Structure 1
Amino acid sequence: MKYQALVVDEIDGTFVKTIKTLNRKNLPDNEVLIKVEYSALNYKDALSASGHKGITRNFPHTPGIDAAGEVIESKSDLWKAGDKVIVTSYDFGMNTAGGFGELISVPAEWPVRLPSGWTTRDAMIMGTSGFTAALALYKMEENRQHPDMGPILVTGATGALGTASIALLKKAGYNVIASSGKESAYGDLEVLGADEIISREAVDDQSNKPFLSPKWAGAIDSVGGNTLTTILKAAMANANVAVCGLVASPEFSATVYPFIIKGNNLLGIETATCPRWVREKLWENLSGKWNFSLPQHMIREVGLDQLETEIERMLSGKSFGRVILKHQ
């Protein structure tokens, strides 16, 4: 059985992306074989496709941490041919061949059932970005976050996670402050549900002050670095700050004051090893009470031959909204 995939090769220290026709024997011998209908492009995929050894150790490799499609073979009682499934998280797309291939082979515990009423395209519009936003809100609310506490800040607002977070928070009844360096996108952020939009610089305090005037009751942050430091300085009492990314830097400097004086909480959001029961609950929420939609112009559907361009756009900070991959 042959299939096409975007393959990243390491050649003399340079990482080269090529669309290749592969054979099923190129896949690992796992329990469930799935024909991928849709995948999506995430920042982690862009890093993997560029040779980031912190994401993917061995090459050649097919990235794609998101996939939705149909089971065509199963060695497990959990799944049968014809089942529609979503695959995200675990090691998928990092060191296991991912959704940028038309076929994937994964352990039986990795897929979750496609929610009733959804298409595989719907699932990938949500994808890891929607799931990450949902996990962030879930952990915040487990820690007693509530809309009445005040607005939630979303940084990196024009990225896939940012747009999903804004739409999700608005659906869940929160007021949202969106931070972005792309003034041209402010109108779109308002359409998504942002109640207030501030510049990137407004969340980049350069003073040595331990506190700033309280501005938000929580945050979903994908930027890290000094942005995260500033978020903590300007957080209200008992704020929950969900840490989801490191676009600016994996390092930040902070005092203990926000934690011991204001009772702030720093919540780590890690989707890869999220327990299966939580994973199933969150997909249920995303297809139910938290089901949000993105404007169609914020969704770009591409083929394998367009992925390399989209990867470069994402790495250069020019990507906006959601990029989904349709396999033929």
Structure 2
Amino acid sequence: MATFNALLVEKQEDKSFTRSVTQRSLDDLPDGTLLIHVHYSSLNYKDALSATGNPGVSRNFPHTPGIDAAGTVVSCDDNRFKKGDEVIVTGYDLGMNTAGGFGEYIRIPSDWALAKPDGLTLREAMVIGTAGFTAGLSVQGLVENGVTPDKGDILVTGATGGVGSVAVALLAKAGFSVVACTGKKEHESFLKNLGASKVITRGELLENKERPMLKEQYAGAVDTVGGEYLAQAVKATQYGGTVTCCGLTASDDLNVSVFPFILRGVSLLGIDSVQCPMPPRERLWGKLADEWKLECLDDLTEEVTLSEVNGKIDAILKGQISGRTLVKVQN
């Protein structure tokens, strides 16, 4: 424990950013009540933004990204956990301005962590990670708003991405008919193996985008990209349906009239996984470990080592990654 490996992002004098796996010390970690030996993390789009110096995500450098971490407790100053407990950390400030899961150790406030449910391994928990947890919140939002499988198809945008791919699988497991929208039509078989009943292209979704309303096609939608794709999802949702919104990789603008809301009673539900309170967080993780546990986790996952993360950061920013990228952190 004198030193450990971590991916370190450093800001150079010319304001560029470099990344390398290097040796760090526990003294380099921030203050906190809980010290965790990280076994696994996962790569999310936000991690790539942090690793390239995006000021909307991370401002303090040098810095170790990784908004997800699963591992074992080394010590806990407030006795909330005991040594050896297996815990999961997603969200809060982890990997943003607090050293994150791309290092073998993290030190955080103990109330950021939850006990790993018995139905999941640490590895499975990080295949799910923030992306899968967000997908779970989205599916749960549809269900709690009265969307049921008998009411029709559910649209998922950005379906090959981390959130989208898990959403497709979760919805299919819950009995929904899923229409997966992607810019990677070559991955149609991948999406159908996850449970999608139909795969459409972005171009198909954007047809007639100038219209204020579209034909009622979907009982609900999980939008992961925002912008005109979210607008089209709202306009094509049937009476009383619900659209969840959790991403903005396409755009943070939403150009849509009020017609779908006041003429069809469509609900738009925002999804936030970062500050989700601990009680509902624990309940959903319990569901993901039990009735919503996915048998296809390995099918949507590529496992890499800490030294291999660097190249994957560039790939995810270019939209070249499908499914989930699991990071094996522990030596």
Looking at structure 2, the residues matched to 298 and 259 of structure 1 have their Cα atoms a distance apart, in angstroms, of 35
**1:62-100 CA deviation, whole Å, 9 max, x = no partner?**
110110000011102210101000000111111111000
Aligned residues: 328
* Change in 2 beyond 3 A, CA 1:273/1:81: same
Instruction: State the identity as a percent.
Output: 45
Counterpart in the other structure of 2:202: 200
Looking at structure 2, the residues matched to 73 and 324 of structure 1 have their Cα atoms a distance apart, in angstroms, of 25
Looking at structure 1, the residues matched to 239 and 204 of structure 2 have their Cα atoms a distance apart, in angstroms, of 20
| Superposition deviation, residue 297 in structure 1 | 4.6
1:166-205 correspondence to structure 2 within 5 Å: 166-205=168-207
Aligned to 2:110, the other structure's residue is in SS state coil
Looking at structure 2, the residues matched to 313 and 121 of structure 1 have their Cα atoms a distance apart, in angstroms, of 22
| Superposition deviation, residue 293 in structure 1 | 2.8
Counterpart in the other structure of 1:260: 262
| Superposition deviation, residue 296 in structure 1 | 3.0
| Superposition deviation, residue 117 in structure 1 | 3.6
Matched-pair contact (CA < 8 Å) for 1:167–1:293: no
| Superposition deviation, residue 141 in structure 1 | 1.8
Counterpart in the other structure of 1:244: 246
Which of 271, 278, 281 is matched with 2:280 structurally?
278
The code of the aligned residue for 2:295 comes to: S
Which of 77, 80, 86 is matched with 1:78 structurally?
80
Counterpart in the other structure of 1:215: 217
Which of 54, 57, 60 is matched with 1:55 structurally?
57
Matched-pair contact (CA < 8 Å) for 2:35–2:106: yes
TM-align CA RMSD: 1.1
Looking at structure 2, the residues matched to 272 and 223 of structure 1 have their Cα atoms a distance apart, in angstroms, of 17
| Superposition deviation, residue 206 in structure 1 | 5.0
Which of 297, 300, 314 is matched with 2:316 structurally?
314
The code of the aligned residue for 1:99 comes to: G
Looking at structure 1, the residues matched to 146 and 119 of structure 2 have their Cα atoms a distance apart, in angstroms, of 31
**1:16-68 CA deviation, whole Å, 9 max, x = no partner?**
11111011011011000000000000011111111111111211111101100
| Superposition deviation, residue 203 in structure 1 | 1.8
Q: Tell me the TM-score normalized by structure 1.
A: 0.98
Aligned to 1:237, the other structure's residue is in SS state strand
Counterpart in the other structure of 2:9: 8
* Change in 2 beyond 3 A, CA 1:62/1:103: same
Looking at structure 1, the residues matched to 165 and 295 of structure 2 have their Cα atoms a distance apart, in angstroms, of 10
**1:189-232 CA deviation, whole Å, 9 max, x = no partner?**
11000011101112224543111111111111111111111111
Looking at structure 2, the residues matched to 119 and 44 of structure 1 have their Cα atoms a distance apart, in angstroms, of 24
Aligned to 1:253, the other structure's residue is in SS state coil
Aligned to 1:9, the other structure's residue is in SS state strand
The code of the aligned residue for 2:182 comes to: S
Counterpart in the other structure of 2:152: 150
1:20-169 correspondence to structure 2 within 5 Å: 20-169=22-171
Matched-pair contact (CA < 8 Å) for 1:205–1:226: no
Aligned to 1:109, the other structure's residue is in SS state helix
* Change in 2 beyond 3 A, CA 1:196/1:205: same
Counterpart in the other structure of 1:18: 20
Aligned to 2:170, the other structure's residue is in SS state helix
Unpaired runs of at least 5, structure 1: none
Looking at structure 1, the residues matched to 32 and 180 of structure 2 have their Cα atoms a distance apart, in angstroms, of 42
* Change in 2 beyond 3 A, CA 1:312/1:287: same
| Superposition deviation, residue 238 in structure 1 | 1.1
Unpaired runs of at least 5, structure 2: none
The code of the aligned residue for 2:173 comes to: K
Looking at structure 2, the residues matched to 297 and 267 of structure 1 have their Cα atoms a distance apart, in angstroms, of 29
**1:146-169 CA deviation, whole Å, 9 max, x = no partner?**
112211111111111111000000
Q: Tell me the TM-score normalized by structure 2.
A: 0.97
